[in-house]
């Protein structure tokens, strides 16, 4: 059961974007598993992709195509990652682009492929022969919700968000979807995420924004510390609305960026809330670090500790596990007497040991909540970093033990 997450239904169409969905039987019977996204001519697109060295064939193809041309179509399948599939996997990824190109009257390089699912198995290319025509027939600006469900794997709920704001007197619509529930410690973005807006944004600005937005959202989540072979995140600006952004320092650009960051963080946090077997949504804050990397090192060490995560699941305020994780994060010359640790507002550690005001009952009360914050103050500088994680439950083991069954 997802943690305080419900199905988002109030999608707002983005002028210049249409989505089509099909049951192509890539892996799953009787469910939507293929999505085609059509982008209006003139749409500017920026993307970030996994840094896993074993990146999937569709990642390599999408990255290559995006570097040379503005895409007109995205083709997404779930159930099979087309990763670890060698030369045949590349041929199949390119083949899926060619099939879309022939059906839609564009060049294959104007198509970006995305896959998610089981690693190491070849794609059934007949699924694309079945699915692409259906997707094309169903292209509609109103299919964001079906598309969010159509890209799911072990997700229990589709993930999406929409915003409509006025900037410089112009209405701007932003809609996005994401998927992911396991194998989540993105090293650029998340499993898959697609965000579109109708403003016209300079390509160089869009390229800068996608990296900054990913770092503020999808690069600040972790469920299990694994980086997928298929991570991809795209930001698409159709230019069909009235707002034009050519100066990144303008008030309009700064306002739009903050709106986009809220969208990206909502989608990223939804992935953690729907983490495989998750029962807790936990914010890890590290304050007063000397530099960004040490703040992240401490935060991720705590977030990845199986002992910390299982204590969270059990609602056991075993704060010594948090203290031990901070101590092994690799921060040099750590002054233990300056470290403070809080569970929400409950002060648990100061001066190298348990805070005199702390009680087991107050700590357990926080750990029993479905959402709480672990705040670690290092006393070394003024850098702060925040990330979001989940607990580790019996269900996580069951889901991943049975995934290919």
Among residues 265, 248, 266, the alpha carbon closest in space to that of 257 is found at 248
CA 294 to CA 248: how far, in whole Å? 29
Q: Which residues pair with 18 in a beta bridge?
A: 38
State whether the Cα torsion 20-109-81-281 is positive or negative: negative
Residues 314 and 290: beta-carbon distance below 8 Å: no
* DSSP for 348-362, written as a single string: EEETTEE-TT--HHH
Residue 210 contacts residue 235 (beta carbons within 8 Å): yes
Q: How many whole angstroms separate alpha carbon 386 and alpha carbon 299? A: 8
**Cα–Cα distance measured from residue 204 to residue 210, given in angstroms and rounded to the nearest whole number:** 10
Element (H, E) at 286: strand 281-289
Calculate ∠ Cα 269-117-51, nearest 5°.
Answer: 65
CA distances from 87 to 60, 81, 125, 174, 295 (A): 12, 15, 15, 38, 41
Give the residue carrying structure tokens 């900037």: 167
| CA–CA gap between residue 72 and residue 287 (Å, rounded) | 43
Its sign, for the CA torsion 138, 162, 212, 242, is positive
Active site residues: 190
The count of other CB atoms within 10 Å of the CB of residue 243 is 23
Residue 387 tokens, joined: 């990330």
Distance of alpha carbon 387 from alpha carbon 69, whole angstroms: 34
Phi, psi of 301 (to 5 degrees): -65, -40
């Amino acid at each position: 059961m997802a943690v305080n997450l419900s199905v988002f239904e109030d999608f707002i169409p983005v002028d210049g974007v249409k989505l089509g969905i099909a049951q192509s039987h890539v892996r799953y019977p009787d469910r939507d598993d293929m999505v085609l996204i059509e982008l209006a001519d003139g749409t500017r697109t920026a993307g970030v992709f996994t840094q896993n060295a074993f990146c999937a064939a569709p990642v390599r193809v999408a990255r290559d195509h995006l570097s040379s041309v503005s895409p007109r179509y995205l083709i997404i399948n779930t159930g099979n990652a087309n990763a670890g599939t060698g030369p045949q996997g590349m041929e199949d990824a390119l083949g899926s682009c060619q099939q879309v190109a022939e059906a839609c009257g564009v060049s294959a390089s104007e198509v970006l492929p995305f896959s998610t699912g089981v690693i190491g198995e070849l794609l059934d290319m007949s699924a694309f022969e079945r699915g692409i025509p259906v997707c094309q027939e169903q292209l509609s600006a109103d299919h964001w919700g079906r598309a969010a469900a159509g890209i799911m794997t072990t997700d229990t709920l589709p993930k999406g968000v929409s915003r409509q704001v006025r900037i410089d007197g112009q209405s701007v619509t932003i809609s996005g979807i994401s998927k992911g529930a396991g194998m989540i410690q993105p090293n650029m973005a998340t499993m898959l995420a697609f965000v579109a807006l109708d403003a016209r944004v300079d390509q160089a600005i869009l390229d800068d924004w996608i990296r900054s937005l990913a770092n503020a959202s999808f690069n600040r989540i972790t469920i299990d510390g694994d980086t997928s072979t298929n991570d991809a995140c795209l930001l698409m600006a159709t230019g069909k609305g009235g707002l034009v952004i050519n100066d990144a320092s303008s008030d309009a650009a700064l306002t739009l960026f903050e709106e986009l960051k809220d969208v990206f963080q909502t989608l990223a946090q939804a992935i953690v809330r729907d983490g495989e077997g998750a029962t807790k949504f936990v914010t890890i804050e590290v304050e007063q670090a000397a530099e960004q990397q040490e703040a992240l090192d401490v935060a991720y060490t705590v977030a990845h500790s199986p002992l910390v995560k299982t204590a969270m699941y059990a609602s056991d305020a075993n704060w010594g596990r948090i203290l031990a994780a901070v101590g092994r994060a690799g921060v040099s010359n750590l002054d233990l007497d300056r470290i403070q640790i809080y569970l929400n507002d409950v002060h648990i550690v100061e001066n190298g040991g348990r805070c005199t005001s702390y009680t087991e009952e107050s700590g357990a009360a926080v750990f029993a909540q479905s959402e709480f914050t672990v705040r670690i103050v290092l006393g070394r500088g003024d850098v702060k970093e925040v990330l979001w994680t989940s607990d580790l439950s019996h269900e996580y083991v069951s889901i991943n033990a049975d995934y290919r069954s």
